[in-house]
């Protein structure tokens, strides 16, 4: 007699790990990005020149948010916290205290839901493969 043992395969999907960015208004996100982020990160998400080289104060220029940058290397929670709390506070909350971030806090300037709209817009500009990689950086909810 053959014994058939059922098993469950659990995989991370965008529905499980990326729900914060689902069903967002990308047009609103683009407009909000233009009004709040483009002055540093570029109208085309290209970042500032030499973004990987710190200035004389030890601060890195604003990185690109397109697929050439490292934004997609991070999970949604960090991207949200970095935007809301600013780089220094967001990293300090994760135990990183020796990084001199130039990212200002937008808490009290941009509402939480609007931050998610901006992040959804940024993500929408990445190639499909990059989007898939970034989804897997998010823990399941």
Tell me which residue has tokens 């030890």: 58
How confident is the model over 43-87, as pLDDT tens digits? 999 999 999 999 998 999 999 999 999 999 999 999 999 999 999
Q: Output the pLDDT for position 2.
A: 47
Tell how many helices (H) and how many strands (E) occur in the chain: 7, 0
Q: Give, rounded to a whole angstrom, the gap between the first and last alpha carbons of the chain.
A: 40
Q: Output the pLDDT for position 14.
A: 38
User: Is the pLDDT score of 120 beyond 50?
Assistant: yes
Q: Output the pLDDT for position 16.
A: 41
Q: Output the pLDDT for position 140.
A: 78
Between CA 132 and CA 138 the distance in angstroms is 11
Report whether 36 contacts 29 (CB < 8 A).
Answer: no
Which token pair is 138? 């998010």
How confident is the model over 2-46, as pLDDT tens digits? 444 443 333 333 344 567 888 999 999 999 999 999 999 999 999
Q: Output the pLDDT for position 13.
A: 38
**Is the four-CA dihedral 138, 124, 53, 56 of positive or negative sign?**
negative
The class (CATH top level) of 22-51+75-135 is mainly alpha
Q: Output the pLDDT for position 7.
A: 39
Which token pair is 92? 């300090």
Q: Output the pLDDT for position 19.
A: 78
Instruction: Please give the C-alpha separations between residue 45 and each of 2, 3, 71, in angstroms, as whole numbers.
Output: 58, 56, 11
Q: Output the pLDDT for position 99.
A: 87
Between CA 78 and CA 98 the distance in angstroms is 17
3-state secondary structure 57-97: CCCCCCCCCCCCCCHHHCCHHHHHHHHHHCHHHHHHCCCCC
């Amino acid at each position: 007699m053959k014994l058939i043992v059922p098993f469950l395969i659990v995989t991370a999907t965008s529905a499980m790990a990326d729900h914060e960015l689902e069903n967002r208004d990308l047009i609103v996100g683009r407009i909000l990005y233009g009004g709040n982020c483009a002055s540093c990160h570029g109208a085309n998400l290209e970042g500032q020149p030499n973004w990987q080289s710190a200035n004389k104060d030890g601060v890195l220029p604003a990185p690109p948010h397109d697929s050439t940058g490292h934004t997609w290397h991070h999970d949604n929670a960090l991207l949200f916290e970095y935007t809301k709390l600013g780089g220094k506070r967001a990293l300090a909350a994760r135990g990183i205290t020796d990084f001199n971030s130039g990212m200002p806090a937008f808490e009290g300037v941009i509402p939480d839901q609007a931050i998610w709209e901006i992040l959804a817009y940024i993500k929408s500009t990445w190639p499909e493969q990059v989007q898939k990689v970034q989804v897997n950086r998010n823990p399941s909810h």
